[in-house]
Chain A
């Protein structure tokens, strides 16, 4: 059976909707992973041991295991202890936490790399410990780690494909639906790959712009 890409057009809308959900997932999980990443970094560095150690254990666990396994745990696992997350929420939480762990590690190193003189400068004016972090140290750490965190966002876009396994109708899942009707896996997966590639290019261009702006404000 040869290839016939004319099977694609009737499903353009389905794939479009799939792409839309991929973008929604990536953006939402991206925000979760960024905010939680900062939280993880600050917790690991400054929280008292009773909080910092459990968080460090969690980070260690999530760094050492596959995302797919984590998604299964969050979606199928939490139900059995009474936490029934809708698939989309489970997907955002799973992707968000997974990448938060990595972003947290990057931002933690970023915070540690900020010149101690910056904290002293802030403290000498009268800023409190938390104010110095919030206004002076964290903004600089975030700026300095923009390229690395940006790479995580690029990875996140691609890894968002994994939530198809818990039934979220994103791009891969949409392709599977189309394939189940047409029995044309090659054409549809190529189409999906092309859409991911395109989205990836746009995301990279966007991140480059952000990096340039950050670079300019220094």
Chain B
């Protein structure tokens, strides 16, 4: 172990870690918003809307995230979308994870006992009222874990934006592996950083899961 080298590159990695966290956090916000939209579209009674939701989820889950990023970043300018690497990374990752999160949200809503919806409808609640007052509050708890899993996948998946030259952890690691010839030291630093970030997120998910547990 070349400790001296590790100390030298560490500051670069700390900056890179901040970028990984920023990108992940912003993509998470976008992803959650997309998930809410797409899940309600998929559960909607209006067929064209439902079809739109299905198409989004199916297309973004059916193709590699890397292609989606490349299409946005390299292909975007052809259709008048010029994005900085960072912005392209956030939007690409957010749209991608949104499709997966939509399935987590939908799964949680469908997991609420059918009788709940029926009971609400017999009182006279409309479809959307049933969703808002009865199903979603119960589903919210059920979706914490799956969304947590999605978020951790997002953090690991954010490594992909190194391929559109966003200087985050994996980009930094790749650069130092080829310039220092010390792959294991570099990998160790990058691995520790990812694990710390993921650990914090996992604990937060645990906390939320307990906080909203139905007593």
Contacts and interface: CB of A to CB of B under 8 A. Distances in A.
A72 B187 CA distance: 9
Given A69-B190, A197-B62, A185 B75 contact: yes
B203 to A, nearest CB: 14
A12 interface: no
A98 to B, nearest CB: 10
Contacts of B19: none
Interface stretch (B28-36, B43-51, B128-136, B174-182): B174-182
B137 interface: no
Interface stretch (B1-9, B107-115, B155-163): B155-163
Chain A, interface SS category: helix
Contacts of A184: 78
B78 to A, nearest CB: 4
A182 to B, nearest CB: 11
Interface of B: 59, 62-68, 70-71, 74-76, 78-79, 156-160, 162-163, 169-170, 173-174, 177-178, 181-184, 187, 190-191, 194-195, 198
Contact of B198 (A64, A68, A81, A200): A64
Among B62, B157, B169, B198, which residue has the most Cβ atoms of chain A within 10 A? B62
B62 A196 contact: yes
Interface of A: 1-3, 61, 64-69, 72-73, 76-78, 80-81, 158-162, 164-165, 172, 179, 184-187, 189-190, 192-193, 196-197, 200-201
A65 B178 contact: no
Contact of B70 (A61, A78, A189, A200): A189
A84 B37 CA distance: 48
A153 to B, nearest CB: 14
B67 A172 contact: yes
Given A65-B156, A69-B187, A80 B64 contact: no
B59 A185 contact: no
Contacts of A189: 67, 70-71, 74-75
A77 B64 contact: no
B160 A68 contact: yes
Contacts of A160: 64
